[in-house]
Homo-oligomer: A and B are copies of this chain.
Amino acid sequence: MARTTSLSGFPEWLPEERIVEQHVLDSLRRTFELHGFSSIETRAVETVEQLLRKGEIDKEVYGVSRLQQDEDSSREDALALHFDLTVPFARYVVENSGYLTFPFRRYQIQKVWRGERPQEGRAREFTQADIDVVGDGTLAFRYDVELALVMIEALSELPIPPFVLRVNNRKLAEGFYRGVGLTDAPAVLREIDKLEKIGAEQVSRNLQDTVGATPEQAEAALSLAAIRTEDTSFVERVRELGVSNNLLDEGLNELAEVVGEASRRAPGKVVADLSIARGLDYYTGTVYETVLVGHEQLGSVCSGGRYESLASSGKKTYPGVGLSIGVTRLVTRILSRSMAQASRSVPSAVLVALNDDASWSAAQDVAGQLRARGIATEVAATAQKFGKQIRYAERRGIPFVWFSSVAEDGSPTHEVKDIRSGEQVAADPASWQPPAEDLHATVLRAATTDD
């Protein structure tokens, strides 16, 4: 991976790397569809107005405008590339609500763009894979449990190291803060969010300096954030802190439902982590993030949460819960640490060799018979010496070379050579089948996915 791309932050894969990415995308699609999520795509651009509605991130947004503006275009809305799939999805739901069935379950796998300073794990163009369920007016809490389960299943299918889904609940945190007398919950959360970066001592000082907490209040907030359990025992740990508040109770019940069910179905994959804050303000209940064990510094590879009002239109509101996988972040790490690789760099399983230039059409007939059985096949373009044709297959990683000739009695004869072993056997184009593992380029997990 010494190769660098000509535009920093815009990764492009070689064909064999692209096979790994396609494997990840196909696997996600399969899991999402098995759980009944419909695919949608939204356009790459939104109006600038729509994109900046939610807050102060305009520095990251790429504006889009025709290089040659004319009198027409001055009347057009200013456009920009979307920076996530949530804002476009919210717009899509409002725009098409009359054509959708609620609760609406969708997955969406697309590129997004952010003009941030590029570094590993942070590109300017990258692919996200989102699932959301959105209700019309209301949405059962159960979906918070279900979406965690779907994402655990989706991530488990990928060639990545063990991961942990960390879950928290905004109601729990906010109720607890109120219970100890801290009323500006978002401000407290903002400070708690810095815990991993600046440490408990500094967070405590910040809470006292900027939120006006007493030392005891700050300590209580930090005690809450220190709780991490792989089962529902966090409830007891919170109770031991002696705070009582209705919203806290609600949050504890919700989080216990998510963690209880997920830990029962996927032991060790989920942690109740009461320090998780997630920056975005629209989350109102469950929040999720996911780290790869041993790669925590990569940041979260799958995040999301519950929002009481993702979108609204007139009197209608659309609550939802969703999670987003950073596909490019994952694939970049898979490739840079050789966690998986393609079994070959081309789809082709067979190269049909040419005896002479006139046999090209007959060779296409053979190839057609193989393709009809799903065997990816190329035909040599020119009748070079067989040694050269075999070396071409070798360089491309094509495992089999097919030879046809005409016997003395005029009947065609066929042989196929496995160029890895050198073994060459008679074969019938109407029935020959390569070993199952050679039929398609496959993605092989490295023996150890840890680095």
Q: Which positions in A face B, CB cutoff 8 Å?
A: 3, 5-7, 10-15, 18-19, 22, 33-45, 47-48, 58-68, 70, 73, 77, 79-81, 91-92, 95-96, 99-101, 103, 105-106, 111, 113, 115, 125, 140, 142-143, 146, 149, 261, 264-265, 345-348, 360-361, 364, 371, 374-379, 381-382, 395-396, 398
Given A40-B18, A45-B125: A12 in contact with B92 (beta carbons within 8 A): yes
Q: How far is the CA of A413 from the CA of B11 in the complex (A)?
A: 53
Q: Check B381–A38 contact: CB distance below 8 A.
A: no
Q: Check A36–B113 contact: CB distance below 8 A.
A: no
Residue in chain B with minimal CB distance to A370: B34
Q: Check A35–B377 contact: CB distance below 8 A.
A: yes
Which residues of chain B come closer than 8 Å to A381, judged between CB atoms?
103, 140, 142-143, 146
Closest-CB distance, A205 to chain B (whole angstroms): 31
Which residues of chain B come closer than 8 Å to A103, judged between CB atoms?
381
In the complex, which of the residues B12, B63, B140 contacts A41, with contact meaning CB atoms closer than 8 Å?
B12
Which residues of chain B come closer than 8 Å to A13, judged between CB atoms?
40-41
Which residues of chain B come closer than 8 Å to A361, judged between CB atoms?
261, 264
Which residues of chain B come closer than 8 Å to A19, judged between CB atoms?
38-39
In the complex, which of the residues B6, B39, B111 contacts A44, with contact meaning CB atoms closer than 8 Å?
B111
Which residues of chain B come closer than 8 Å to A374, judged between CB atoms?
34
Q: Check A41–B64 contact: CB distance below 8 A.
A: no
Closest-CB distance, A136 to chain B (whole angstroms): 12
Which residues of chain B come closer than 8 Å to A64, judged between CB atoms?
62-64, 81
Q: Check B3–A36 contact: CB distance below 8 A.
A: no
Q: How far is the CA of A332 from the CA of B77 in the complex (A)?
A: 24
Residue in chain B with minimal CB distance to A47: B7
Q: Check B376–A33 contact: CB distance below 8 A.
A: yes
Residue in chain B with minimal CB distance to A106: B15
Closest-CB distance, A354 to chain B (whole angstroms): 10
Q: Check A35–B371 contact: CB distance below 8 A.
A: yes
Q: Check A38–B346 contact: CB distance below 8 A.
A: yes
Which residues of chain B come closer than 8 Å to A376, judged between CB atoms?
33-36
Q: Check B142–A43 contact: CB distance below 8 A.
A: no
Which residues of chain B come closer than 8 Å to A398, judged between CB atoms?
36
Q: How far is the CA of A265 from the CA of B91 in the complex (A)?
A: 48
Given A59-B67, A59-B68: A346 in contact with B36 (beta carbons within 8 A): yes
Extra contacts besides A33-B347, A58-B67, A64-B64 (8): CB < 8 Å? A35-B378, A36-B348, A43-B125, A45-B125, A62-B65, A140-B382, A143-B381, A146-B381
In the complex, which of the residues B36, B149, B346, B382 contacts A142, with contact meaning CB atoms closer than 8 Å?
B382
Which are the 10 A-B pairs with shortest beta-carbon distances? A36-B348, A36-B378, A15-B38, A33-B347, A10-B43, A66-B115, A140-B381, A59-B68, A142-B381, A34-B371
In the complex, 15 of the A-B residue pairs with CB atoms within 8 angstroms, ordered by the A residue number, are A3-B99, A7-B43, A7-B45, A10-B43, A12-B40, A14-B40, A15-B40, A18-B41, A33-B347, A33-B376, A35-B371, A35-B376, A35-B378, A36-B377, A59-B68
Which residues of chain B come closer than 8 Å to A265, judged between CB atoms?
364
Closest-CB distance, A201 to chain B (whole angstroms): 34
Which residues of chain B come closer than 8 Å to A41, judged between CB atoms?
12-13, 18
Given A10-B45, A142-B382, A382-B140: A377 in contact with B34 (beta carbons within 8 A): yes
Which residues of chain B come closer than 8 Å to A261, judged between CB atoms?
361
Which residues of chain B come closer than 8 Å to A35, judged between CB atoms?
371, 376-378
